[in-house]
């Protein structure tokens, strides 16, 4: 069981944000074109003020119930995205709270979007580029048909490559997602976490999802 992160300090967050932006710049990207989303799955609601005071403006939560509670605990301080495994029955409650749902990947989700989505609803489709068994996401070959069936605006793609200790091993998967997005004219690419966000940025990420690298106090 992972412990919740407590005692967050705004100055630590601000320093780590600057480090992340510098790393993105070193990868050859304009930091203004790569949005840093803070993943708050393990951050209690009472820590959110420190996150905002440190300069974070966009956050992502993995669990629908926790997203609703945390958004209520910090009204107006963040733009919220849903980044976790999507249970389609939760979509009705999620949509009014979030900018993007990053993880649309099933026909049941499409059905719920047709019922509860509006002209303003924007989503990303999760693609299992590595073809990992048991992992969420559609196969790359399924993307054209999935796009045709999606009843709301698809703004981009998201992926979670296989875990690896070497960020370079994620590069082919990020590159494949970028090519898919380019082929279909989709501007947003949500890919890369604390472990491999620099590689993701180099391969075209427009949103990187950072957790521990924003929160830990390092020299």
Cα angle value 25/140/170 (rounded, 5°): 35
**Residue 49: what pLDDT?**
96
For 76, left (φ over 0), alpha (ψ -120 to 50), or beta? Answer: left
The fraction of the chain above a pLDDT of 70, given in percent, is 99
**Residue 2: what pLDDT?**
65
Question: Residue range 38-48: average pLDDT?
Answer: 96
Count the Cβ atoms, other than its own, within 10 Å of residue 38.
Answer: 25
Give the pairing of strands 58-61 and 79-82: parallel
Q: Is 1's pLDDT higher than 60?
A: no
**Residue 134: what pLDDT?**
86
Read off the pLDDT of residues 121-149 as tens digits, 9 standing for 90 and up: 999 999 999 999 988 999 999 999 999 99
Query: Domains along the chain?
Result: 10-215 (3.20.20.10)
Question: Residue range 105-111: average pLDDT?
Answer: 97
Q: Is 219's pLDDT higher than 70?
A: no
- DSSP states of 26-48 as a string? HTT--GGGSEEEEE-TTS-GGGH
**Residue 131: what pLDDT?**
94
Cut 0.75: pTM above it: yes
**Both tokens of residue 188?**
């947003």
């Amino acid at each position: 069981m992972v412990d919740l992160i407590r005692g967050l300090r705004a100055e630590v967050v601000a320093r780590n944000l600057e480090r992340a932006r510098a790393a993105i710049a070193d990868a050859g990207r304009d930091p203004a074109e790569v949005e840093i989303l803070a993943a708050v799955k393990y951050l209690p609601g009472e820590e959110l003020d420190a996150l905002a005071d440190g300069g974070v403006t966009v956050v992502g939560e993995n669990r629908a119930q926790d997203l609703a509670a945390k958004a209520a605990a910090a009204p107006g301080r963040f733009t919220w995205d849903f980044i976790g495994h999507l249970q389609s029955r939760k979509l009705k409650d999620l949509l009014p709270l979030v900018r993007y749902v990053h993880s649309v990947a099933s026909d049941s989700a499409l059905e719920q979007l047709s019922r509860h989505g509006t002209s303003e609803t924007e989503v990303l489709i999760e693609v299992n580029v590595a073809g990992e068994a048991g992992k969420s996401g559609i196969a790359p070959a399924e993307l054209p048909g999935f796009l045709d069936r999606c009843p709301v605006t698809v703004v981009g793609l998201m992926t979670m490559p296989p875990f690896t200790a070497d960020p370079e091993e994620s590069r082919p998967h990020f590159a494949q997602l970028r090519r898919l997005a380019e082929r279909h004219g989709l501007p947003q690419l949500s890919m890369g976490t604390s472990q491999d966000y620099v590689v993701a940025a180099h391969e075209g990420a427009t949103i990187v999802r950072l957790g521990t690298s924003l929160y830990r106090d390092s020299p």
